Amino acid sequence: MSVLLIAGSPSEHSRSSTLLSGVARRLHDQVDDRRLRVERLQIRDLSPQALLLADWGNSSVLRAIEQVAHARALVVATPVYKAAYSGVLKVFLDLLPQTALKGKVVLPIATGGSPHHMLALDYALRPVLQSLGARHILPGVYASDSQIPKDADGEYQPGEEIQTRLDDAVSILLHEGLHWPVTPVFAPVPFAQAQYSV
């Protein structure tokens, strides 16, 4: 079983890619790599000419489409520009077959300049994912720029609220989306050993 992390930012270092890396860390922390393969697809690394000219025969595009086909779940991260997901992500989604997401679970993630762009997840990205046949689109995670400031080293660092929301999103992805078994926190206690008072 595999999860494909799709980075839809045109920038190498971005807030949305930082959130995607946070999802990857959480997946690796919770599940053994041998049981769940986590792969990453940077759309910006695909051939720009092939993307713009809809060249399905291009080798980088073919590999990316195959990655989508083999994944059980997708995490799609994008910056929001002008109330919509990135153009880089748009041209890639346009290249996918109409049923490319059939039977798949999708977790959408977006970042934007202000909280006003939050609805782009529901009004711009979600309908496209549904049109591609996604089985289950999980509640998304949206973060504004102020919630992912840069640290002293100039690296983006999600704030505590966003960290908590990523924890919840990954838990939902694993346990509700992929039906991953919940690891018990403590051993079960037989009823005969239970003590109670009235």
* String of DSSP letters for 156-192: B---HHHHHHHHHHHHHIIIIIS-PPPPPSS----GG
The reply to whether 164 falls in a domain is: yes
Instruction: Tell me which amino acid residue 69 is.
Output: A
> Per the domain annotation, does 198 fall within a domain?
no
Question: What single string gives the DSSP state of each residue in 112-149?
Answer: ESSGGGTTHIIIIIHHHHHHTTBSEEPPPEEEEGGGS-
Contact 23, 166 (CB under 8 A): yes
Domain membership flag for residue 74: yes
CATH value at residue 27 = 3.40.50.360
So what's the pLDDT on residue 173? 95
In Å, how far are 7, 111, 139, 145 from 82, measured between CA atoms?
Answer: 18, 12, 22, 15
Residue 163 lies in a domain: yes
Tell me if 60 is assigned to some domain. Answer: yes
Q: What is the pLDDT of residue 198?
A: 62
Residue 129 lies in a domain: yes
Whether residue 12 lies inside any domain: the answer is: yes
Which of 173, 172, 170, 108 has its CA nearest to residue 142?
A: 108
Which regions in the chain score pLDDT beneath 50? none
- Burial of 60 per CB tally in 10 Å (0-12, 13-18, 19+): middle
**Looking at the 3D structure of the chain, how many domains does it have?**
1
Quick check: is 35 in a domain? yes
DSSP H or E stretch at residue 13: none
Tens digits of per-residue pLDDT, 86-126? 999 999 999 999 999 999 999 999 999 887 778 888 899 99
Query: What is the value of pTM for the model shown?
Result: 0.88
Token pair, residue 90, equals: 């748009």
Domain span at 89: 2-193
